Amino acid sequence: MEVKSTKELHSELAMHSVRFAKDEQGRRKGQDVLFKWPEIEKKLGEHKHIYVVDARLGSNNHTHRLWYDVIPPHTEEGQEWRTLGHRHTVEAIIYFLKGHGHSIIDGERYDWGPGDLLSVPMFSWHRHINDGDEPVLRIASTTGPLSLALGQAVYEDERYPEFWIYAQEGEDARKTLIPGGGGKIDNAKIAGSRTAEMYAEQVAFAMHEEQLRRKSKVLVKQKDLVFEPTAMGNLAYVVDPRIGCHSKALGVVMAEIPPGKRSGAHRHLYDEIDLIVSGKGKVIVEDKEFDFDTLDVLSIPVFQWHQYFNTGSEPLRILGINTRLAMDNLGLSLTHQGEKADYV
Ligand SMILES: [Fe+2]
Ligand SMILES: [Fe+2]
């Protein structure tokens, strides 16, 4: 084996950082954009849980992933979940396409049907139950890759207590939405200095965070979406802190384009995955075109111009799931608007 000198090794490490952005542009250009429903459906017949956009399967997406799954009639996701379900330190949304059922999230019951969306508060126990005679078809998207890269991904599952980190420590550890437990909000308070105040705020952070998670909006019903004109076309924000969701990484919008019309064009420095909820059309991504249909999935490369066209006779609805909020919080977001939609 070739042994590198200290100088060679450390020069290479420095150049890795210098080269990264240029290399990443190439990876973005080469990434898969379109995932067709018929192929996903075939795989779902063999296994009820199919990852679609996922860096572990070659997607160039560093922050979130998307999968499809099916819950058979009168069963529960995970089959053996009966009490706690699971919880995780990743943000998650679930969008229901077919079937009816309910979820138990942090002890509360939420009933859902097609077109409804759940935004699961971080580290809350949750279970999903199909109450009907039809299979439930749904997609889920999480910030798993982001939390894993940060070394802060905890998944505790009722079925696998041998992998629990905190839940085995008792009732308090199972009730809290803070991994490791909340503790007392005024434990660090001492009087007399601004620095002591600042430190006490730091200690209280997680407890405030837990309160905000518990106040966050969980269920968004399809009928409550409010579409309004924007430069990109008719949009409804579905998951966003400005409409009552305590989300810091994952955001969701629904876009609607009438037959024969086109959206605006834009590009942005965050990952986006789109689910085609209804209708058909095409998307231009930089210099390439992709034709899509209902239930197809698109993975939009970071900072590539994209614009959507409704080529069918029905309204086109696209659920856009992005990690804009994570990038906002890191100070890395940038959105450029190009041509405006032709129908607003
Ligand atoms: Fe989950
Ligand atoms: Fe976009």
Pairwise CA distance, residues 333 & 133, whole Å: 44
- Which whole number is the average pLDDT over 7-14? 95
CA of 267 to the centre of ligand 2 (A): 6
CA of 138 to the centre of ligand 2 (A): 22
CA of 199 to the centre of ligand 1 (A): 33
CA of 69 to the centre of ligand 2 (A): 25
Pairwise CA distance, residues 224 & 291, whole Å: 30
CA of 17 to the centre of ligand 1 (A): 34
How many CB atoms within 10 Å of residue 74?
11
Ligand nearest to the CA of 307: 2
3-class SS of residue 336: strand
Ligand nearest to the CA of 140: 1
Alpha helices in the chain (DSSP H): 6-30, 37-46, 144-149, 171-175, 194-215, 324-329
Ligand nearest to the CA of 304: 2
Ligand nearest to the CA of 127: 1
How many CB atoms within 10 Å of residue 41?
14
Tell which phi-psi region holds residue 303, choosing left (phi > 0), alpha (psi between -120 and 50) or beta. Answer: left
Pairing of strands 101-105, 92-98: unpaired
Using one digit for the tens of pLDDT, what is the confidence trace for 192-246? Answer: 899 999 999 999 999 999 999 999 999 999 999 999 999 999 999 999 999 999 9
3-class SS of residue 233: strand
CA of 87 to the centre of ligand 1 (A): 6
Please give the pLDDT value at position 84. Answer: 87
Ligand nearest to the CA of 235: 2
CA of 260 to the centre of ligand 2 (A): 20
Least trusted range by pLDDT, from 11-15, 33-37, 118-122, 189-193 = 189-193
Q: Is the pLDDT of residue 310 over 70?
A: yes
CA of 272 to the centre of ligand 2 (A): 6
CA of 116 to the centre of ligand 2 (A): 22
Question: Which two structure tokens, joined as six digits, stand for 257?
Answer: 């384009």
Q: Do you know the residue count of the chain?
A: 344
pLDDT class of 80 with cuts at 50, 70, 90 = low
Ligand nearest to the CA of 124: 1
Ligand nearest to the CA of 303: 2
CA of 266 to the centre of ligand 2 (A): 6
CA of 169 to the centre of ligand 1 (A): 21
Handedness of CA 135, 141, 145, 151 (dihedral sign): negative
Residues 102 and 131: beta-carbon distance below 8 Å: yes
Residue type (1 letter), 150: L
Using one digit for the tens of pLDDT, what is the confidence trace for 40-77? Answer: 999 999 999 999 999 999 999 999 999 999 999 988 76
Q: What are phi and psi of 214, to 5 degrees?
A: -70, -20
CA of 188 to the centre of ligand 2 (A): 44
Average pLDDT score, the chain: 95
Residue type (1 letter), 238: V
Ligand nearest to the CA of 323: 2
Ligand nearest to the CA of 337: 2
CA of 88 to the centre of ligand 1 (A): 7
Ligand nearest to the CA of 125: 1
pLDDT class of 180 with cuts at 50, 70, 90 = confident
CA distances (Å), 291 to each of 108, 116, 298, 332, in order? 41, 26, 10, 31
CA of 268 to the centre of ligand 2 (A): 7
CA of 322 to the centre of ligand 2 (A): 8
Between 91 and 180, the more confident residue is 91
CA distances (Å), 35 to each of 28, 42, 210, 315, in order? 16, 13, 37, 21
CA of 18 to the centre of ligand 2 (A): 27
- Beta bridge mates, 290: 283
Pairwise CA distance, residues 300 & 60, whole Å: 10
